[in-house]
Amino acid sequence: MARVSESLAGRLALVELTPFSLGEIPKVPLTRLWSRGGYPDGGVLGTRRFPQWQRDYLTLLAQRDLPAWGLPAKPQVTLRLVRMLAAVNGQAWNATQIGQSLGLSYHTVNSYLDYLEGAFLIRRLPPWHANVGKRLVKSPKVYWRDSGLLHSLLGGASEAALLDQPWVGASWEGFVIEQVLAHLAQRDRGGEAFFFRTSDQHEVDLVLDFGDQLWAIEIKLTATPGPDDMLRLNKAADLIGARRRILVSRTTHAVASDREVSCSLPWFLRHALGEPST
């Protein structure tokens, strides 16, 4: 911490305060939280400030806060970068491609991304490395941590229009990942998060490593998941030896066994991940 003369080692705890998560505002419809994001002033609690609040927030970050924290980019460059990051949300990170669009080296783009990650705007989800006898995707995937900020950059889709957007699948995927990881952090469950993908399209959207076991989580936008969805998940989960396989969708019907679960996001958070630690 700046201007602190003595070491605070052993006397300081770091607590990450995320925007509102699903478990913190249970009376708010899931679709509203997904559409507007979790910032209290951003519209999730019923105000009409979405998406202008989000746009103003990002502009002020680019003009004032990020430069104060050491980001050397000009505000207009930062805002161009965040718009590009919205366009590649949920994709494997390609710093060279983004750098060419901005006229910057991939080293510089990676350093800028470090600042955005440090500001809790972006999450880099690293790949899971395993000896599976297949070529693996080695680049991290990049997600916006707050779906409302993402949607404001992509055009500010309303709740009613959200499912008609071409980017809706990646948005839902990132939203579910963030809700799951926020839920784990609030319950002090620990665990590390990854994704898994091979060159021949075996994929797990979210791999949770709890040390003694792996969970493989596949995220689908559909409200009617079928047997083929679980079959594909099991094939990929077998490659990494995942103990539990969870298919999270917008279904209203949960089917669960000790090994396999097909459920909605609220059901998963409530039943599979447990209650807060005390």
Whether 13 maps to a domain, the answer reads no
Whether 232 maps to a domain, the answer reads yes
> What's the pTM?
0.92
Whether 12 maps to a domain, the answer reads no
Q: What is the pLDDT of residues 213-266, one digit of tens each?
A: 999 999 999 999 999 999 999 999 999 999 999 999 999 999 999 899 999 999
Whether 185 maps to a domain, the answer reads yes
Expressed as residue numbers, the domain containing 80 is: 22-272
Q: What is the pLDDT of residues 78-87, one digit of tens each?
A: 999 999 999 9
Q: What is the pLDDT of residues 54-64, one digit of tens each?
A: 999 999 999 99
Whether 262 maps to a domain, the answer reads yes
pLDDT score, position 3: 58
Sign for the CA dihedral angle at 160, 165, 169, 174 comes to negative
Apex 99 CA angle, 112 and 155, nearest 5:
80
Whether 92 maps to a domain, the answer reads yes
Give Dmax (Cα) for the chain.
60
Q: What is the pLDDT of residues 67-81, one digit of tens each?
A: 999 999 999 999 999
Cis previous bond, 19, omega within 30: no
List beta partners, residue 193.
208
- Round to whole Å and give the CA distance between 273 and 227: 23
Whether 7 maps to a domain, the answer reads no
Q: What is the mean pLDDT of residues 44-50?
A: 85
Domain tally for the chain? Answer: 1
> Could you give the strand order of the β-sheet that contains 244-249, starting from the edge strand earlier in sequence?
192-197, 203-209, 214-219, 244-249, 260-264, 255-256
Whether 67 maps to a domain, the answer reads yes
pLDDT score, position 15: 74
